[in-house]
A and B are shown apart, each in its own frame.
Chain A
Amino acid sequence: MNTFKILSEQEVQKLHSAALNILNTIGLRIDSEKARKMLAEAGAKVNHETMIVRFPPNLVDEAMQKAPQRVIYGARNPKYDLVLEPGGDTYCRTLSGAEGYIDLETGKYRLAKMSDVKDWAILVDALENINYFGLPYPSDVDADTRDLRMMPVALENTEKHFIFQPYSGEHVELMVEMALAVMGTKEELKKRPIFNTLTSILTPLQLIEYAFDVICAAGKYGIPVELNTMAIAGGTAPVTVAGLTLLSHTEALAGIVIAEIANPGAPMVYRPLPMVMDMSSGVALEAVVENAMVAAAQAQLVRETYNIPTNLFGQVADAFTSDGQSMIERVFNALLPALAGANIVSGAGGLEHCYTLDPVQLVIDDEIVGMTKRILRGFEINDDTLGLDALARVGPGGNFLSDEHTLKYFKTEYYRPRIFNRGTREIWQSKGGKDLNENAKERAKTILREHKPVPLADDVVKELDSIIKRLG
């Protein structure tokens, strides 16, 4: 299938040179002295007093050349390994970092608990089209160490890869320790890291100390980093779609450049998260329809310049519940970057920009992703698929129902959503006349009741427990 190109060649060039220009003339404010010294040595123009670091274009290019175009996201079970590479499969991840949760029983909003972390991991383990995930952030656990305490729960309840937001460089080290309990050796972990980390550039154009520490610590062990930037059009970024695209892209690049200078060859994933300020409430919106264009533009921009793995939003909504607004928002925002060649499209299960997770939405997103992947698969046109022989056999007035061609293809041609309502109204009504959300809720409950993730070995569980115990 041809990749969707939203930008012309000239537009790609214009954005690319504008980004290099910003890094060269405005630069970033970097408060870590260690980072500034490192960058100065690498050829950046550093002013220690103002803390401004400017990156000459050749330094940016050199660093970006070191960023691998192929990154592996490993999983406890190798069948769930993800290969992020040019022309590779497109994957989906859930939203990460949300504290709000829509209770599966009551449908009401509340804060997430540790038991939701377990449920979420189980759901992801069972849902075919969700490739990896971030977790709800529980409020019933010590805030400073919850990022660590969640990890064993994730490891125990799913065999899939996951993303974590460590609160410090030291926390990364502890996460690595836990991952090693599962993977065995540092070499194996580096080859197939079972988790990746998320940290952020502070828009506009700032890198704060803890983020630099996380980048360095992750790079040391070959743990991939999805380096967020959260530019808000009209607030921390220019208000125009073009300006938002540019700043968000520039920052995402800058983060990767810094990571590659710190640890050449570090696996990095380009991950801008552009937002738009709602000029009525001041809230930062993620699911405006224009973001679909920004994401598509950014996917194309990276593909046509450095071609490193990209993760773009995504199945995301500003809606507060999994209603029609949510569905409209997430389909536009997921489809365009997927068509434009993003390696990962993320946000599944998310509501309220990035604040809330909803298990019902997650189950529905599993279908949306399934359909997106079906579109990306395209449809092959050859003599057989054209059904030329079948047409000749069936001829005018005949039917294809039991033709060998139908039997050959019917199961794989059309995506069959599990939770959609199809058939006739009478049958639908006789089964209770449930809508999509009710069907999704039922599926979620069935999964939680019946799906048993492959458990970790006892000794691994013991080791994880002992690491957590050290936190006090």
Chain B
Amino acid sequence: MSILDEMNTSVIEGDRDKVEELTRQALDQGVEVKTILSQGLIAPMDVVGQRFESGELFIPEMIVAGEAMARGLNVLRPLFKESGIKPQGTVVIGTVEGDRHSIGKSLVSMMLEGAGLKITDLGEDVSPEQFVNSVKQEEAQLVGMSALLTTTMPAMKATIEALKEAGLLDKVKTLIGGAPVTQEYADKIGADGYAPDAATGVKKAKELLQALAASG
């Protein structure tokens, strides 16, 4: 079995340590960074994605596969620039100010990581200022906001306004979600996207990032 085949199996099985080890080995063997990335890390995640959609694979399995892939990705990331690889996207995600609910947001965060994006998860009760600072610091292209309470949803609007004031809105897309959130609300506050569940959130995130890259 080639090292890339081994990597595929290890990613799908969610063997985090093995994937990291194999990534280093592949580099040592002289395999090109972009080959390791596309054939050793992204390809198996595509398989994982398909199996999840068809109902053969479930959330915990998808998350550990994503974590394994991310471990490999972290080894490769410092080498992207010299290999001419553009990073797939940087995301800042958090539960908005006043809201301490985390599980839904964490689920999306982990799935986005499994999609190969660079994720900064700010946790919960994140103020608009904290979102803005993180976007600047990480040079993020996407801000994901979660709320579980109708009383904290207004913080989403406040965060979008803070991004606008900081002059960041033309460089960054906003995506919102959470049980009480709706497409209608997203439209009302000027969010770029809304997703009703985690899997759709990942799709939407990728779409928004592509749109940004195309326009920018």
Contacts and interface: CB of A to CB of B under 8 A. Distances in A.
Contact of B100 (A206, A280, A355): A206
A282 B107 contact: yes
Nearest to A354: B179
Contact of B59 (A99, A137, A280): A280
A383 B151 CA distance: 62
A282 B151 contact: no
Q: Is the interface of A mostly helix, strand, loop or mixed?
A: loop
A312 to B, nearest CB: 22
A109 to B, nearest CB: 12
Contact of B198 (A99, A202, A232, A282): A282
A201 B197 CA distance: 24
B103 A355 contact: no
Contact of A236 (B55, B58, B103): B103
Nearest to A202: B100
A392 to B, nearest CB: 64
A279 B150 contact: no
Contact of B197 (A144, A208, A281): A281
A237 B120 CA distance: 24
A56 interface: no
Given A99-B150, A143-B150, A234-B60, A282 B100 contact: no
Interface in B84-122: 100-101, 103-104, 107
A281 B199 contact: yes
A137 B59 CA distance: 31
A279 B58 CA distance: 5
Of the listed residues B55, B58, B107, the one surrounded by the most CB atoms of chain A closer than 10 A to its CB is: B58
A167 interface: yes
Interface string A116-157: 000000000000000000000100000110000000000000
Interface string B160-203: 00000000000000000001100000000000000001110000
Nearest to B58: A279
Given A202-B101, A206-B100, A235-B103, A282 B150 contact: no
A99 B150 CA distance: 10
Interface residues of B, number: 17
B107 A235 contact: yes
Interface centre among A277, A280, A283, A355 (most CB of B within 10 A): A280
Contact of A208 (B100, B104, B107, B179): B100
A257 B25 CA distance: 55
B60 A282 contact: no
A306 B103 CA distance: 31
Nearest to A203: B103
Nearest to B61: A279
A318 B127 CA distance: 33
Contacts of B59: 234, 277, 279-280, 282
A167 B150 CA distance: 11
A137 B104 CA distance: 22
Contacts of B199: 281-282
Contacts of B198: 281-282
Interface in A158-216: 167, 202, 206, 208
Nearest to A31: B100
B151 A280 contact: no
Interface string B52-66: 000100111000000
A236 B58 CA distance: 17
A279 B60 contact: yes
Contacts of B153: 143
A143 B100 CA distance: 19
Given A99-B150, A143-B151, A277-B59, A282 B179 contact: no
A456 to B, nearest CB: 28
Nearest to B179: A355
Nearest to B182: A111
A7 B107 CA distance: 33
B107 A280 contact: no
Contacts of B58: 279-280
A279 B62 CA distance: 10
B179 A280 contact: no
Contacts of A99: 150, 180
A443 to B, nearest CB: 31
A208 B103 CA distance: 16
A148 to B, nearest CB: 13
Contacts of A208: 100
A2 to B, nearest CB: 39
Nearest to B53: A280
A202 B95 CA distance: 14
Contacts of A143: 150-151, 153
Among A206, A232, A277, chain B packs the most CB atoms within 10 A around the CB of A277
Contacts of B101: 202
Contacts of A355: 179
A283 B196 CA distance: 10
A281 B177 CA distance: 14
A139 to B, nearest CB: 8
A167 to B, nearest CB: 6
A144 B151 contact: yes
A281 B59 CA distance: 8
A352 to B, nearest CB: 10
Nearest to A143: B150
Nearest to B99: A208
Contacts of B151: 143-144, 167
Interface in A399-418: none
Contacts of B104: 282
Given A143-B151, A208-B100, A355-B179, A280 B55 contact: yes
Contacts of B55: 280
A235 B107 CA distance: 9
9 contacts: A137-B150, A144-B151, A236-B103, A280-B59, A281-B198, A282-B104, A282-B197, A282-B198, A282-B199
In the A-B complex, the 10 residue pairs with the closest CB atoms: A279-B58, A282-B198, A279-B59, A235-B103, A143-B150, A236-B103, A282-B107, A208-B100, A281-B197, A202-B100
Given A143-B150, A167-B151, A281-B199, 11 more contacts: A202-B101, A206-B100, A232-B103, A234-B59, A234-B60, A279-B60, A280-B55, A282-B59, A282-B197, A282-B198, A283-B197
